A = this chain, B = another copy of it.
Amino acid sequence: MSVAEQSEVRVSDGALRRFIGYRLKLAFNVFRADLCDVLAPYGLRMISYSALGVIVETPGLRPSTLAEALNIERPNLVSTLDDLEALGLIRRERDAADRRAYALSPTRRGVEVFGAAAAANEAHEAALLAGVPAEDAATLLRVLDHIQAKGARRS
C-alpha cells in the first residue's frame, strides 16, 4: 500500500445505499453502456432499437404516436427516424387522408434487422440477469412499472 493510499479515508457508502434513485441510476448506466455495444453492430442505439421495435409491431403508426409510446418528446424522435430511414430499416409515407401526417412502416430489412437485434438484446438481458430468480426479475419489472406509472399519472 502506497503512502497516498495510507493517507486516504475509507469511503462510507451509507448515503448511497439509502438512495434508491442512485442505485437505479447505476443499474441503468450499466444496462445502457452494455446495450450500446450489443446494438452497435446493427447500427442501432437504445432509442432507435426501441422505435424500430414498435414500428415493426405496429406498422402504419405516426411519429407522434410513436413518441408517446416511447415516452419521448416529438422533436427528439426526428433524428432517430432519419437514422432508421437512412439505414433502410423504415419508410415514411404521407398519409393520404391527412397530409400533415406520416405512416411509419418497417422495410423487409427492418424486420430482419430488428429480429436479429432483439435476439442479441434478449441474450444480453439474460446475461445481466443470470443468477436472478425469475420471480425476482418479474418483481423488478412490476416495481419499475409502478414507479413509471406514478410519473405518468402526474404529467
Contact = CB atoms under 8 A, between A and B. Distances in A.
A88 to B, nearest CB: 19
B66 A11 contact: yes
Interface in A48-65: 49-50, 53-54, 56-62, 65
B151 A24 contact: no
B26 A144 contact: yes
Is chain A's interface secondary structure helix, strand, loop, or mixed overall? Answer: helix
Nearest to A56: B15
Contacts of A29: 71, 148, 151
A31 B21 contact: yes
B30 A65 contact: no
A154 B59 CA distance: 38
A139 B139 CA distance: 7
Interface of A: 3-4, 7-16, 18-35, 46, 49-50, 53-54, 56-62, 65-66, 68-71, 95, 97-98, 101, 103, 114, 118, 121-122, 125, 127-129, 131-132, 136-137, 139-148, 150-152
Given A10-B58, A31-B151, 13 more contacts: A4-B98, A9-B65, A9-B103, A11-B69, A13-B54, A14-B57, A22-B46, A23-B148, A24-B28, A25-B46, A132-B146, A139-B139, A139-B143
5 contacts: A11-B54, A15-B50, A24-B144, A26-B144, A131-B146
